[in-house]
Amino acid sequence: MTDPSLPAGGPAPLDVLIVGSGVAGLSAAVRAAGSAGLRVGLVTKAELAQSTTRWAQGGVAAVLGVDEDSTDLHLADTLAAGAGLCDVDAVKVLVGEGPGRVEELIALGAVFDTHPGGGLALTREGGHSTARVVHAGGAATGAEIERALVEAVRETAAALLEGWFAVDLLVEGGRCEGVVALDPRGSPHEVRASHVVLASGGAGQLYAVTTNPSAASGDGIAMALRRGVPVADVEFMQFHPTALHHPAMPRPLLSEALRGHGALLRDAEGRRFVEELSPRDVVSRAMAARMLEQGVDHLWLDATALEHFDQRFPTISASVRSIGLDPSADWLPIAPAAHYLSGGLLTDLDGASALPGLWACGEVACSGVHGANRLASNSLLEGMVFAARVVEAIASGREGPEPSGALRTVGAEDGDTIPVRVLDSWASDGGSDGAAVPAGDDGEVDKRRHRLQQAMTTGAGVVRSEDSLATVQAVVDDVAGPGRGP
């Protein structure tokens, strides 16, 4: 077990500091501290195992030796789902290196579902032309991947800063040299490293209805924007079509695997209205249109014909039975919910951002693999593939980006940036001397957050228009207030 105790003011300088403990961050930590032999630290807002990855019900899509499948098919499916905005080279990297990353995860101890006679049990999900998705526990894939990776990281990391909140990048001489992070008491510290890897996940908490846990609040993108690091495609929030329509938040997912096994989508009158295995954006738009047409706030997922539901999908079964529904007899109420951010920090094919010393992988990055819409079960895969590439590039001595992937296709100068703003509460008077940040008005913060979430859900959701986005912009400006920019 790594000793997490720290000297006054923070840990000793690190070779690599990773921000985030989902599949991307943990995969990077395992590889960096293992085969690369680097001194690794990891900062995470909650406990190590409490990330969005833990909530992931979908599986990992990869070509794993099935005769009817190929990387060319996986490439074609990914490009089709991305609506013409994927970077082809990035997708080739994803589908080509994905199988090896899955095998490494299995070697690390992750246990995936298998057929009774042996061999991985592969399923088909929306947008895939064939069955190529591996699952664990039916719909508990993220939890199993997180378990295996957390166990490995706890044995190898030099510093684990659980409950620490990274709030700003340390930039000196045009290079990222670490982060400012608040410890569990709210005191700021400089955590320095030769390289910083942002793997802080997405921003589902921008919306009132989301499948993401509370930690998914876009911190990594905010830190990058404050330092002028280009981001792109952040308008492409993916909405998962089959979130359980229930007051619980985050909304429980009813995995795409259900439709892969034959579950049907039905409207308020019980009629089918869309091909169940269409890409997520197609299904979500069709659902939004039908809900508007019929004047309802949810539709239905009919899984009553699925055999052995409780045994195949114990996690989902527990969720729906906890609210009094029997999946073998009852249709399940569903509505789209904010699920995955396809954009983020612009990176090259090795995860380098436009700022030397700063890398990004997973949902916080815009690597070019997802385009306008992510293909089902490509997210966990992306985290594993690009985390490995980040570590390999750092270990080889790379300092900054190369003209490849999204950085070549879009161009760093075309990304979105904002002026750098200093965060006075910890940047003034030395900043990292350990003085506690003055307490804010939590009630006022909650009110602002609620107003922003409601505006985003209403005006920047599945259905949006120029007028609705203008309304959201006005709310954002008002919520930020004078001098309260990101």
Residue 416 identity: D
Collapsing DSSP states into helix, strand and coil, what is residue 428?
coil
Distance CA 162, CA 156 (A): 15
CA distances from 238 to 25, 82, 152 (A): 21, 11, 31
Beta-bridged to residue 360, according to DSSP, are 198
Cα→Cα distances 128→79, 132, 257, Å: 11, 8, 12
Query: Which residues are CB-contacts of 255 (< 8 A; sequence separation ≥ 6)?
Result: 57, 58, 138, 139, 242, 313, 316
Instruction: Give dist(CA 429, CA 427) in Å, integer.
Output: 7
The span from the CA of 315 to the CA of 2, in Å, is 32
* Residues assigned a catalytic role: 280
* Euclidean distance between CA atoms 395 and 34, whole angstroms: 12
240 strand-pairing partners: 337
At which residue do the structure tokens 């620490």 appear?
A: 164
Q: At what angle are helices 466-480 and 442-459 packed, to 10 degrees? A: 170
What are the percentages of helix, strand and coil residues in the chain, rounded to 5? Answer: 35, 20, 45
Strand partners, 244: 334
Angle, vertex CA 97, rays to CA 92 and CA 100, nearest 5: 160
- Residue 470 neighbours by CB under 8 Å, 6+ apart: none
Across the chain, how many H-helices and E-strands are there? 15, 17
Burial string for 375-402 (b: 16+ CB within 10 Å, else e) reads: bbbbbbbbbbbbbbbbbbbbbeebeebe
Instruction: Read off the tokens for 442.
Output: 């939590």
Residue carrying the six token digits 């990353």: 101
